[in-house]
Amino acid sequence: MIDKEDYKKGTTTVGIVCKDSIVLAADKRATLGSLIANKDVDKIFEVTPFIGMTFAGSAADGQALAKLMKAEMRLYHLNTGMDPSLTVAANLTGNVVLERAKSFIPYYVQLIVGGKDNGNKFGVFSLDMGGSIIQEKNFTATGSGSPMAFGVLEDNWREGMSSEEGIKLAYKAINSAIKRDIFSGEGVNVVVIDKGGYRKVEPEKVTAKSK
């Protein structure tokens, strides 16, 4: 029997703040130790029509947490009659992760929560498995390939980027990690959240936009 600590997991996810949107991206590989467990894992989830979440770490924990937060956001809307803002979603997610961190079965994840906030502004938050919440001004990255992704983001991000430019940068950052991190691979998923809501960019369009 393999102890949970022996399940080495890796991935690369990024969140980019653009002029009137945010872009979330992730690779598709799931690993178990040095083995490739799955080549088509979606690591980006829709939490509300204007908020998305990425995870790095345990696929089971990430998927369970995304489903839980989607349900919590629906309850928030029913109880208040208002759509939850990004700040509300990030803080509630952080509280849920913190409570589990105090137990013997924490969520083994790093998260990016991004989308529309108060005043029709867009942003991203990064959260760790201890429940800490950091609002990122420009961009962020998580996972084993994040050092490579950060290098690309720091060199190429600029104020006032369009969604199209954000998609190209997200692809470039994830692809850089895929080339250098054994735990990241199998392609790139990209999601854009703007005033029209959450939408997944088709794979062929992601590749085309990167050229």
The token duo for 200 is 């997944």
Average pLDDT, integer, range 191-199: 94
Residue 162 CA to residue 160 CA, distance in Å, equals 6
> Three-state DSSP class for 105?
coil
Question: What's the confidence (pLDDT) of residue 131?
Answer: 86
Q: Is 11 a catalytic residue?
A: yes
> Three-state DSSP class for 95?
helix
- pTM exceeds cut of 0.95: no
How many Cα neighbours within 13 Å face the side chain of 64?
12
Average pLDDT, integer, range 160-189: 83
Query: What range does the domain containing 38 cover?
Result: 4-209
CB 116 within 8 A of CB 51: yes
The β-bridge relationship of strands 197-201 and 44-48 is unpaired
Residue 18 CA to residue 153 CA, distance in Å, equals 12
Give the total number of structural domains in the chain: 1
User: What CATH number is attached to the domain comprising 10?
Assistant: 3.60.20.10
Find the catalytic residue in 11, 31, 93, 142.
Answer: 11
Range from 4-18, 27-41, 45-59 carrying the lowest mean pLDDT: 27-41
Q: Tell whether the model's pLDDT for residue 180 goes beyond 60.
A: yes
Question: What's the confidence (pLDDT) of residue 188?
Answer: 85
Average pLDDT, integer, range 183-206: 81
For residue 4, what is the DSSP state?
G
